[in-house]
Structure 1
């Protein structure tokens, strides 16, 4: 495994007593929403990574619903699989420890970070801190954060908001609660709606950090409709670096996770569990994937 991972071993957890002696060559991938470009692109990368390793992938869309995530974790409605890569939005550690059909499991994302299950994520706090610091470096001082979601809490969004606040504090810029906006979902439609409201309410707004690129693309549309020039009037940055970020007008700056390392880590950890003898104790790993700033026209002030 690449040494650039931030890898910390947790207490050991017993591997699956019911692990199969023979493999099916099929794994399951549970994702919240394939309509969200980031999850669609991540799924595509994981499918390609599986094919390179001689595996097939069954993709299950959970909509982030608790009951559906539990069903997938328990194998309900699934064929025989070698293992599961799960991107949960509602599952709890208690849900996972009660799995009725246990087997190799790798969690992706922030939602369940400290648990007896191997977990891979990006540094969401650090990503937003990098994004915010970049806006400060290009001269922004009245910087909004669009992407809190308190009605349906999101661990990733919470950590990204925390990173935004840390960057402001480090620069000596007071945090203004009026510059943090809620969204109902992490979509371009919500980004467009909220950015329009923010631009109308805050006359001296000069920067926006969005919780993901989809929200940021909506913000770009809203600002263009209001005649606000990006980046001259308001600089905009997102997180995730989806493909569409390169083709927006202006092209969207973003913070890009190392997708190749993420895919490699997911399959390395899955194979580690698949190869372990039945009853063996395996160290549970938490792996943080690095991210880098990608500067484009939306912040080129």
Structure 2
């Protein structure tokens, strides 16, 4: 936690708006967060707002400091994508003001948040593989060693789909990763192949993991999608240019961004002491089928 002597800034009175909104994002090296941030910046600019980006690395102390305005200039509000922040942390904010949460980490709280249904996204990805004939579908992406709400919910969605669709429920088909990176995806798939696990489809926790899975399959001479079909989640731009182009589940990023900015502006515009309703908004996600699952 930052030293208590560090100045904490409070939002200015509503009549002294700065036109600046802070955005706390875990890691801009992750393509999905980078693309979502770029979209937020563009849409905020259209509304006459500037985005002040703060990268947290998912560090709890850093997330708390940003929620409390530590080291930030005066802002009109905060959009926060938390990874370790808790409801207790937020209720003890020393710099309260307009706040919108993004993601499912804090799913039930007295604060407005916007999210996709990660469980449903993984269920849809698994169902897509079943629809193209896959029966032994692996899941690359649980993160027991470095817990992640998104990973847990996506793993749960995969398990539910396997049960509902009558697919092979084999524990050996599930491969852990330490992080949502291509390097971890490649390592996990290499381990599955080295162990001789039979599979004909792979659901990946995100597209970065899927890129690594594709690389490992290519290195091993496994044809995609002929031998193994692969699908990711997030539909980052690079998915369309992978070899082969990667199928993915695409969140409605435009819906996420517009909802977050609309909810934040609603709070900013409210008179002091107004009893603002808390809103929990879930936007949709759709399967984008590309060559990596185009089985005959």
Q: Please identify, of 245-254 and 146-155, the stretch whose mean Cα deviation from structure 2 is larger.
A: 146-155
Instruction: Indicate conservation of the 8 Å contact 2:11/2:95, yes or no.
Output: no
1:182 aligns with 2:176: yes
List gaps (5 residues or longer) in structure 1.
1-15
- Equivalent residues of 2:172, 2:197 under 8 A apart: no
SS in structure 1 opposite 2:139?
strand
Aligned match of 2:248: 254
Deviations 1:169-206 (A, max 9, x none): 11122422111111111011111111111122234211
Partner of 1:160: 154
Aligned CA distance change for structure 1 residues 35 and 17 (closer, same or farther; 3 Å): closer
Question: Using the alignment, how far apart are the partners of 1:107 and 1:253 within structure 2?
Answer: 28
Kept in 2, the 8 Å contact 1:18–1:102? The answer is no
- Separation in structure 1 between the aligned mates of residue 214 and residue 23 of structure 2, nearest angstrom: 32
Residue 123 in 1 paired to residue 117 in 2?
yes
In the TM superposition, residue 20 of structure 1 has moved relative to its aligned partner by: 3.2
TM-score, structure 1 as length reference: 0.93
Work out the number of aligned pairs and report it: 286
1:38 aligned to which of 26, 29, 32: 32
Larger strand percent: 1
Alignment partner of 1:290 is 2:291: no
Q: Which residue of 2 aligns with 1:20?
A: 14
**TM (normalized to structure 2)?**
0.94
Work out the CA distance in 1 between the residues paired with 2:292 and 2:13.
50
| Higher RCO (CA-CA < 8 Å; seq separation 6+) | 1
Secondary structure of the residue that 2:14 maps to in structure 1?
Answer: coil
Q: Does 1:230 align with 2:224?
A: yes
RMSD between aligned residues: 1.3
Instruction: Quote how far apart the aligned CAs of 1:131 are.
Output: 0.3
SS at 2:281 equivalent: strand
**Deviations along 1:128-149, whole A, 9 cap, x unmatched?**
0000001011111111111101
**Which ranges of structure 2 fall in alignment gaps of 5 or more residues?**
1-9
Tell me the residue number matched to 1:11: none
> Per-residue displacement from partner, 1:187-246 (whole Å, max 9, x unpaired)?
111111111111222342111000000000110001100111100111000000000000
